[in-house]
Every structure is written in structure tokens, then in C-alpha cells.
């Protein structure tokens, strides 16, 4: 597994490491600036950081638009020139191209000819809420309009008050698309609900986030010995045999999602005044279980998915589980965790630096095969700014809030350890 000593001050206590993190984040923001498409939305980028061609280059998906808005609010909080243009463009795209003025809600994708996939997805609406909340923290003039609109849709179309979680998907005119329920959309909704609570002070958003966490983690993940079940039926019974889209609904369990939950639970614990002690306990248990079963002890990196027996299912390594592991290790270490979390923080960053950072064209490779060579099987090019830049910025702020709110509070002292 490699040596990972923890002697001396934690890395985030060292100015050189904090400067390195800021430099990595700045490079990512620079890499994604050419993504802006004046005709609407943001281009997906190829491995060289240039707009993709072909049909894939024409498609604009809602999670890409929303994440760009969220990420460039982080750039704005850092004081990086040019961020406002990216935010304005993304906010306009959400309102004029993704928003459905006839039926309400936000369509999944469009191209220059109009909507391509007009379905209404919980996953996409979670990210609209995150973008709106982040834009509100940044003071964007259209943030309240977007926040009110998507908030109404989430409350009245997606939220299942009896279950304490979100319904999954609907047609363009709001007919249910089946009984499937998913943890992935609800995990990202938890992230967005916390951001909305921070942006508005409305306790309803926090209560909804806590209910999702109780259902998916305190009930289901605890019962599965701290594995996070991905797929459910309409009554929230685990569906172990489900195998859907390899990007959004892979079979088995997904170590990266357990790491993501670990970080979110720590934030939820802090935002709730640390009154629900199980959140801190569960965050640590999820992390330690995941690094035990999900990390390749020979070559390093997290397997993408595991069978229920904990054997690797898809052995390719994606960039985002490492990004989430970095954030989780940091917040656990700085919320009372012991040196094990510092060791994992260093180990994961070492792996990223050795294998995911593209030293030629910038950014991170999205996928590595079992021999740790870059491949393009599920993802093409440089598909995402969101995970990588948050891995760089979360360690720079206290673990008590989202990275957006944390940067606002820490903007004058980012090179000083907290």
C-alpha cells in the first residue's frame, strides 16, 4: 500500500502545501475557461482542454451547467478575474435553456436545436439548487429568482415527505418514469440542501438534509456494515441486482459515494450544531470501511465499484473518488479525527499527483485502467471541474461549512492554517 508517515505538522498546516493547493485550483479554473460557449452553456473539453467536436460537443447537460456556476462562484470568492462572466453565462443558460417555462422544472439536456432529453431528474434539480445557493452567497442578482423557482419544484414535485427523501425522475410533463429510487441523487440533494440552508437560513432545508441522511446512512448504510446501497424500489427497499448507467447508476456499491457521504455528514453535523452525534460516528465509520475495502493495496487508487462481496467489480480508477477521499480525510482530521485521516489525506494526494494530474495539458485525467494508464471508457476528455477543484479548496477552509461559505469567511487568510 505504500508508506504514508504522518510525522511533523499536518500538510494543511504548512504554507507551502496551502500554496500548492491554491495553485492547483487556479490552474483548473484557467483550464476550463475555454468551455464557455457564447451560443449557450459550456463545451465539454477533450484531453487537451479544447472543446470536443461531434455530437458529444453539441450536447449541454444540466449537471455540467450547474457545476460550472457553482465552481466559478468559488473562483469569485478567491478573487480570480473572469469568474463573473462564467457565472453570468451559466445562470442565463439555466434560466433560458434548461428551465421549462411551460411545465416547470429543468430539462436534463439540450443542443443548438432545442431540448434533447426533456426529462426532469432529481439529480439535475439538486445541482440547480446548489448553483442557486452558491450564486446567492456570491451576491448574484438572479440567484433569488433561481433559488425560489427550483426550491418550489423540489418541494412540490420531488420531495416525498413520508419517506424523507426525493423521488427520482419524471417525464417532461411530470408523469413518473418508474419506481426507481436512488441514493446518488439524494446524496447530491443533501449537499444542495445544506448550501440552501447556509444561503438563506431557512431551517426547512437543513431538516430535509437530515432526513435523507437518516434514511440512507443511519438506516441503510449502517445495516450494511457501512456500505452505501445505491439502488432502491419505491418503498426504499434495497435492490441489490440493479445495474443501470455506468456513470450515474452503476451496479454494486461505489466507494467514492461512501467517501462523499463521509464528508457531507461532517458538514451536516456542524451545521446542525453537533446535536446529532451519530453523524460524526457514521462519517468516520464510512471512511474507514471504504478505505479498507475500496483502496487497491497493491497499486493504489479506489476501485470504481465493488460487488456486494467487496470484490472489485469495475477495477478502473476514476478521478472523483480520490477527490472525495481527500475532502473526507481533511474534514474528519479537523473535526477531532486521529492521525489515520492525515495519513490517508497524504496517501490519496500522492496517488493523484503521481497518476491523475496531467502535467502536459493541465487538469486531471478522468479514468485510469488497472495498470494506471489513462483511458476513455466511460468519460471523454476532461469532463468535470467540480470534484477536482473542491479537493483543492476544501482543505483550505474550516470543516464547519460548505466550501463556498468557507471561502467567504476565510478569504483573507487562505495561506494561514485554521
* pLDDT tens digits, 396-412: 999 999 999 999 887 66
The mean pLDDT of 311-331, rounded to a whole number, is 96
Looking at residue 408, its pLDDT comes to: 86
- What stretches of 262-407 adopt beta strand conformation (E)? 305-306, 312-314, 317-318, 367-368
Q: Which of 342, 386, 310 is nearest to 68 (CA)?
A: 386
CB atoms within 10 A of CB 188: 23
The band of 247, judged by pLDDT with boundaries at 50, 70 and 90, is confident
The mean pLDDT of 48-56, rounded to a whole number, is 91
The band of 416, judged by pLDDT with boundaries at 50, 70 and 90, is confident
The band of 151, judged by pLDDT with boundaries at 50, 70 and 90, is very high
Looking at residue 7, its pLDDT comes to: 84
Mean pLDDT rounded to a whole number for the chain = 95
The mean pLDDT of 180-209, rounded to a whole number, is 98
Region at 321 (left for phi over 0; alpha for psi -120 to 50; beta for the rest)? alpha
- Residues near 81 by beta carbon (within 8 Å), at least 6 away in sequence: none
Coil, helix or strand at residue 181: strand
CB 17 within 8 A of CB 11: yes
* Known catalytic residue at 257: yes
Distance CA 178, CA 242 (A): 14
Q: What are the extents of the domains in the chain?
A: 11-410
For the chain, give the number of residues: 418
The band of 381, judged by pLDDT with boundaries at 50, 70 and 90, is very high
Looking at residue 411, its pLDDT comes to: 63
Coil, helix or strand at residue 143: helix
Q: Taking the model in full, what pTM does it have?
A: 0.97
The mean pLDDT of 23-30, rounded to a whole number, is 98
Taking only the tens place, the pLDDT of each residue in 282-320 is 999 999 999 999 999 999 999 999 999 999 999 899 999
Q: Is the pLDDT of residue 413 over 80?
A: no
Distance CA 124, CA 126 (A): 5
Catalytic residue among 140, 231, 257, 330: 257
- Residues near 365 by beta carbon (within 8 Å), at least 6 away in sequence: 47, 319, 355, 356, 357, 358, 374
Helix, strand, coil shares of the chain as percentages rounded to 5?
Answer: 55, 10, 35
* Known catalytic residue at 387: yes
Looking at residue 6, its pLDDT comes to: 81
Looking at residue 209, its pLDDT comes to: 98
The mean pLDDT of 138-153, rounded to a whole number, is 98
The band of 217, judged by pLDDT with boundaries at 50, 70 and 90, is very high
Between the alpha carbon of residue 180 and those of residues 3, 8, 311, 386, the distances in Å are 43, 49, 25, 26
Please give the share of the chain, as a percent, with pLDDT higher than 70: 98
Sign of CA dihedral 161, 167, 171, 177: negative
Q: Is the pLDDT of residue 364 over 70?
A: yes
- Residues near 17 by beta carbon (within 8 Å), at least 6 away in sequence: 11
- We find that the CATH architecture of domain 11-410 is Alpha/alpha barrel (1.50)
CB 50 within 8 A of CB 382: no
| 142-146 long-range contacts, CB within 8 A, separation 24+ | 142/91, 142/92, 142/95, 143/91, 143/199, 145/95, 146/91, 146/94, 146/95
Q: Which residue has the cell 479554473?
A: 29
The mean pLDDT of 385-398, rounded to a whole number, is 97
Burial class (CB in 10 A: 0-12, 13-18, 19+), 100: middle
Of the ranges 2-16, 188-202, 251-265, 340-354, which one carries the lowest mean pLDDT score? 2-16
Amino acid at each position: 500500500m505504500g508508506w504514508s508517515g504522518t510525522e511533523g505538522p499536518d500538510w494543511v498546516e504548512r504554507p507551502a502545501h496551502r500554496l500548492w493547493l491554491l495553485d492547483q485550483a487556479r490552474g483548473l479554473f484557467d483550464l476550463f475557461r475555454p468551455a464557455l460557449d457564447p451560443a449557450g452553456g459550456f463545451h465539454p473539453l477533450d484531453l487537451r482542454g479544447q472543446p470536443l467536436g461531434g455530437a458529444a460537443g453539441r450536447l449541454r447537460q444540466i449537471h455540467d451547467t450547474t457545476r460550472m456556476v457553482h465552481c466559478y462562484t468559488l473562483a469569485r470568492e478567491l478573487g480570480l478575474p473572469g469568474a463573473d462572466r462564467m457565472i453570468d453565462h451559466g445562470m442565463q443558460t439555466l434560466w433560458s435553456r434548461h428551465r421549462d417555462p411551460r411545465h416547470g422544472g429543468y430539462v436534463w439536456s439540450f443542443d443548438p436545436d432545442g431540448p434533447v432529453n426533456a426529462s426532469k431528474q432529481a439529480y439535475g434539480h439538486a445541482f440547480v439548487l446548489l448553483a442557486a445557493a452558491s450564486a446567492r452567497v456570491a451576491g448574484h442578482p438572479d440567484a433569488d429568482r433561481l433559488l425560489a423557482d427550483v426550491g418550489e419544484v423540489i418541494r412540490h414535485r420531488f420531495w416525498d415527505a413520508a419517506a424523507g427523501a426525493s423521488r427520482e425522475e419524471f417525464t417532461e410533463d411530470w408523469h413518473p418514469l418508474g419506481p426507481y429510487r436512488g441514493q446518488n441523487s439524494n446524496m447530491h440533494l443533501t449537499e444542495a440542501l445544506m448550501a440552501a440552508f447556509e444561503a438563506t437560513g431557512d431551517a426547512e432545508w437543513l431538516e430535509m438534509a437530515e432526513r435523507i441522511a437518516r434514511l440512507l446512512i443511519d438506516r441503510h448504510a449502517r445495516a450494511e456494515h457501512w456500505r452505501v446501497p445505491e439502488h432502491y424500489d419505491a418503498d426504499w427497499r434495497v435492490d441489490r441486482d440493479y445495474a443501470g448507467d455506468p456513470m450515474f447508476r452503476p451496479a454494486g456499491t461505489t466507494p467514492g459515494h461512501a467517501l462523499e457521504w463521509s464528508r457531507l455528514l461532517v458538514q451536516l453535523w456542524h451545521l446542525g450544531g453537533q446535536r446529532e452525534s451519530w453523524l460524526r460516528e457514521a462519517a468516520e465509520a464510512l471512511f474507514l470501511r471504504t478505505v479498507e475495502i475500496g483502496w487497491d493495496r497493491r497499486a493504489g487508487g479506489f476501485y470504481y465499484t465493488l460487488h456486494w462481496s467487496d470484490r472489485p467489480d469495475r477495477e478502473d480508477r476514476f478521478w472523483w473518488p480520490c477527490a472525495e477521499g481527500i475532502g473526507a480525510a481533511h474534514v474528519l482530521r479537523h473535526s477531532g479525527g486521529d492521525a489515520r485521516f492525515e495519513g490517508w489525506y497524504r496517501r490519496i494526494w500522492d496517488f493523484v499527483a503521481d497518476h491523475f494530474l496531467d502535467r502536459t495539458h493541465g487538469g486531471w485525467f478522468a479514468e485510469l485502467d488497472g495498470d494506471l494508464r489513462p483511458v476513455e471508457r466511460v468519460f471523454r476528455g476532461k469532463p468535470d471541474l467540480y470534484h477536482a477543484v473542491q479537493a483543492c479548496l476544501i482543505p483550505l477552509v474550516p470543516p464547519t461549512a460548505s466550501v463556498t461559505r468557507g471561502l467567504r469567511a476565510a478569504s483573507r487568510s487562505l495561506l494561514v492554517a485554521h
